[in-house]
A and B are shown apart, each in its own frame.
Chain A
Amino acid sequence: MATESNGATSTSTCVGPDGSAIGMPQLCFEWFPNQIFWLVITLVVIFFVLSRIALPRIASVLAERQGTITTDIAAAEDLKRKAEEAEAAYDKALADARAEAQSIAQKTRDEIKAELDKAMAKADAEISAKAAESEKAISDIRATAMENVEAVAKDTAEAIVSALGGKADAKAVAAAVSNRIKG
């Protein structure tokens, strides 16, 4: 409470002669008008500075930022859509190229096969011609060999007959040998 002190040396009833507070300075009534006056001035100044300058400015900055963010997000979505379109186009081009490559490969394969078939046919023909020739040669050789064997057999048979003391009838021996060879 506001204490009634002698206050001879001090200018205030709330401060003792040694300069220390008497009671709580908070409750010193003679200081109230001063505090209230300056507080009201302070609040009015702060209020006008804030409501005229600072708060509208911050509000506009925040709104502007919100606008920028919205625009940027829209732009990002646009770009994303474009990227997706580009990806689709790329995929299509890739599929086309793959199909074309497939067809080219198929065509090449067909050509090679046709050429191969042709070459095979030619080779087959050559082989069969060669085989026929060889067969003929073999049969010739076999015929010649048969004749030779017959001649040798007749001669050998005549020689054996004469060696055994018989009289070799050339015709009979030849007939017998040819008979034997055939049978």
Chain B
Amino acid sequence: MAADKAEGGLVFHPMDQFIIKPLFGDGAIGMFTITNITLWLFLAVVATVLLMVFGTSKRAIVPSRSQSIAELAYGFIYKMVEDVTGKDAVKYFPYIFTLFIFILMANFLALLPMSYSPTSMIAVTAVLGFGVFIVVTILGFVINGASFLSLFWVSSAPLALRPILAIIEIISYFVRPVSHSIRLAGNIMAGHAVLKVFAGFAAITAVAPLAIFGIVAIYALEVLVAFIQAYVFTILTCVYLKDALHPHH
């Protein structure tokens, strides 16, 4: 990835870590090519299965460490869905939990050295963000029919203001999936790029201690960001889902 950083002066390639490469052979990247992103997505599945399936396999009344982590994640998201979206949204809990655990695992696996971060790719987060947007919008119309549009008609505002507010509401509604996906990709990408920039500076002896301290500090921040972004993505999904289920302000 950034193996050539030290040759000659300072050459930073902070974005090279995001290049998608085929795992086997050297060919072009088609839709079904097994690439490094495939590997790290697969590892996210493995980590999820290890935690949620093998971690809970004992079904202990007094949980082991892995089982209590799995239960903690379950309880955390379950309570979030219940509190934010409402008790009638509990049937969507498996979908929301899938999003949460996938983003969490991908984010944390990306913090391993030499790893690849799928959640830093716009295409990946856009699928997640627009997926949530489309599902929520369809769900809103299926459940509420045309009255779902009352989401944009702020009945508590003065009548003269309502058309203007409706335009603002519609714009903000359609910007949601963009901000939803770019927030996640932007955070992860920026963090990893900054780590690489600090790593590039570490090649210069004079600033190496400072650069290494910077790597440690940014890494600590990234650990925090990895969790917070998964949390934020999930809670926003819950908020959007709440709009679909209860569109009246």
Chain A interface (Cβ < 8 Å from any Cβ of B) = 11-12, 14-15, 18-21, 24-28, 30-43, 45-47, 49-51, 53-55, 57-62, 64-65, 68
State which residues 11-64 of B face A: CB under 8 Å. 13, 15-16, 18-20, 26-33, 35, 37-38, 41-42, 44-45, 48-49, 52-53, 56, 59-61, 63
CB distance from B107 to the nearest CB of A (A): 14
B223 surroundings in chain A (CB, below 8 A): none
**B71 lies within 8 A of chain A by Cβ:** yes
Contact (Cβ within 8 A) A49 B52: yes
A42 to B46, CA, bound (A): 10
A-side contacts of B208, CB under 8 Å: none
Specify the chain B residue showing the minimal Cβ separation from A31: B20
Would A34 and B189 be within 8 Å (CB), given that A25-B20, A42-B42, A61-B59 are in contact?
A: no
* 6 pairs of residues in contact across A and B, judged by CB atoms under 8 Å: A11-B27, A20-B15, A26-B185, A27-B122, A47-B94, A55-B74
Tell me, rounded to whole Å, the shortest Cβ–Cβ distance linking B46 to chain A: 10
Q: Which segment of B95-103, B150-158, B166-174, B235-243 sits at the interface?
A: B95-103
In the complex, which residues 97-115 of chain B have their Cβ closer than 8 Å to any Cβ of chain A? Answer: 97-98, 101-102
- Interface residue SS majority, chain B: helix
How many chain B residues touch A (Cβ–Cβ < 8 Å)? 53
Most B Cβ at <10 Å: residue of A25, A32, A39, A51:
A39
Asked if A62 contacts B71 (CB within 8 A), the reply is: yes
Q: Is B127 an interface residue when CB atoms closer than 8 A count as contact?
A: yes
B70 at interface by CB-CB < 8 Å: yes
Question: Which residue of A has the minimal Cβ distance to B106?
Answer: A42
Of the residues A11, A39, A62, contact of B124 by C-beta under 8 Å: A39
Contact A38 B41, CB 8 Å, known A26-B189, A55-B97, A61-B59: yes
In the assembled complex, the CB of B122 is this many whole angstroms from the nearest CB of chain A, namely 5
Q: Find out whether the CB atom of A26 lies under 8 angstroms from the CB atom of B27.
A: no
Residues from chain B with Cβ under 8 Å of A15 in the complex: 19
CB distance from B31 to the nearest CB of A (A): 4
- Please list the residues of chain B having a beta carbon within 8 angstroms of any beta carbon in chain A: 4, 13, 15-16, 18-20, 26-33, 35, 37-38, 41-42, 44-45, 48-49, 52-53, 56, 59-61, 63, 67, 70-71, 74-75, 93-95, 97-98, 101-102, 118, 120-124, 127-128, 185, 189
Tell me, in angstroms, the Cα distance from A28 to B121 when the chains sit together.
Answer: 10
Contact A33 B31 (CB under 8 A): yes
> In the docked arrangement, what's the CA distance between A74 and B244, Å?
42
Least CB distance, B226 to chain A, in whole angstroms? 17
| Main SS at interface, chain A | helix
In the complex, what residues of B have CB within 8 A of residue A27's CB?
Answer: 122
Collect the chain B residues with CB atoms within 8 Å of residue A35's CB.
Answer: 20, 37, 118, 121, 123-124, 127
Q: Which residues of A contact B42 (CB under 8 A)?
A: 42
Q: How far is the CB of B15 from chain A (nearest CB, A)?
A: 5
Residue of B nearest to A40 (CB): B127
Contact of A58 among B27, B38, B56 (CB under 8 A): B56
